[in-house]
Amino acid sequence: MPFPVKGIATQGATEKLGAFDFERRDPNEDDVHIEITYAGICHSDIHSARSEWGPAMYPMVPGHEIVGRVKAVGGKVSKHKVGDLVGVGCFVDSCRECQYCKEGEEQYCAPGCTMTYNSLERDGKTPTFGGYSTDIVVKEDYVVGVPANLDEKGVAPLLCAGITTYHPLKKAGVTKGHKLAVVGLGGLGHMAVKIGAAFGAEVTVLSRTAGKEADAARLGASHFLITTDDAAMAKAAMTFDFVLDTVSAKHDYSQLLGLLKTRGQMLVVGAPPEPVDVSAFMLLFKGRSISGSLIGGIAETQEMLDFCGKHNIVSDVEVIKGDYVNEAYERMLKSDVKYRFVIDIASLKQ
């Protein structure tokens, strides 16, 4: 029997989010029922809720940075048990058969993975609802374990912001001796600073916001650059091995490419809705490259959580109640968040 769940949803691209009651399936034999404790607010929630990336499905319950306790498990579940602290990220299923699923990069599943919200289950007709809700039911293979030493509230954002920045930095081999520029000090950016520094890189934050300089240093950055300071940007030309771009709005990629040394790599994770212009010459003459990446696979998400457990890394969060979500969205658009909003899901039950 499906069971009732309280959530927060939007009914359309220009609507405000509000209380929404719906039902979750009773756990099947391979399902884990999680009572959600905290859910992070990612900028992708805003892009999706407002149909900025194209028409979305409504009602939409956003949220793909989920942490909570296992409340019940199906008969064949072996990876998680009742009472475990667990996490769920951006997707909750995939085909399991394609090359990418087999390689552990389920986020690139050929027929498409089932996203945590604004997506359809494998049956092709049941909509998924995300983490701004009291409970979620997820197949055990798409649930990860949370190290016990980490602060639960700060863990939620690791499930998207953490893995989205860990994955490209790890894949690019960022390590001691490398100079890394992190562009945009928001949810993803502040995780990139922490993880990049833990990988041993010398991190510089590039931001539009002068007031973030002290925070950048506290988070682990050695240097801070204001992107509108032409003189400082000119001085930084050709000094970085890697530029990790987390910016959520349209901006100048060519300016950032100019910061890279010969053969430097620009790693794009920010997802501005509009196309961006890139000068071919900024790529050709110094053999620079640009690549993009989407979150990370399940095994790597577990690896990232274990890494964060070992290095005591969590997100810096501002905990809010459910009825503050609309205001939180507006503040994020003004870069007014340090550095991730996390919804206290207990507030949905009041």
Site string for Zn ion, 26-55 (x = CB under 5 A): ----------------x-x-----------
Number of CB atoms found within 10 A of residue 95's CB: 16
Torsion of CA 264, 269, 273, 278, to 10 degrees: 0
Interface segment toward ligand NAP; rule CB under 6 A; list 12-20, 27-35, 42-50, 283-291: 42-50
Q: Residue 128: CA atoms inside 13 Å, Cβ hemisphere, count? A: 25
Q: How far is the CB of 218 from ligand NAP (least distance, A)?
A: 14
Separation CA 228–CA 91 (nearest Å): 36
- State how far Cα 166 lies from the chain centre: 10
Site string for ligand NAP, 171-210 (x = CB under 6 A): -------------xxxxxx-----------------xxx-
Among 109, 159, 266, 268, binds Zn ion (CB under 5 A): 109
Type of residue at 33: H
- Beta-carbon contacts of residue 135 (< 8 Å; ≥ 6 apart): 3, 5, 24, 33, 34, 35, 36, 68, 71
Instruction: Name the token pair of 54.
Output: 């194209």
Q: How far is the CB of 41 from Zn ion (least distance, A)?
A: 9
Site string for ligand NAP, 284-323 (x = CB under 6 A): ----------xx----------------------------
Q: How far is the CB of 35 from ligand NAP (least distance, A)?
A: 25
Interface segment toward ligand NAP; rule CB under 6 A; list 124-132, 235-243, 265-273, 282-290: 265-273
119 near ligand NAP (CB under 6 A):
no
Task: Report CA-CA distances (Å) from 15 to 63, 204, 251, 289, 307.
Answer: 17, 38, 27, 40, 39
Interface segment toward Zn ion; rule CB under 5 A; list 87-95, 189-197, 307-315, 322-330: 87-95
221 near ligand NAP (CB under 6 A):
no
Nearer to Zn ion (CB atom), residue 100 or residue 261: 100
Instruction: Give the largest CA-CA distance in the chain.
Output: 64
Long-range contacts for 323-331 (Cβ within 8 Å, ≥24 apart)? 323/347, 325/8, 325/17, 325/41, 325/132, 326/16, 326/17, 328/41, 329/17, 329/41, 329/45, 329/46, 329/49
**How many residues lie near ligand NAP (CB under 6 A)?**
29
> Could you say which DSSP state residue 133 is in?
B
301 near Zn ion (CB under 5 A):
no
254 near ligand NAP (CB under 6 A):
no
Separation CA 340–CA 317 (nearest Å): 5
Nearer to Zn ion (CB atom), residue 150 or residue 191: 191
115 binds, among ligand NAP, Zn ion, none (CB under 5 to 8 A by kind): none
- Interacting residues with ligand NAP (CB under 6 A): 42-44, 47, 160, 164, 184-189, 207-209, 212, 246-249, 251, 269-271, 294-295, 332, 335, 337
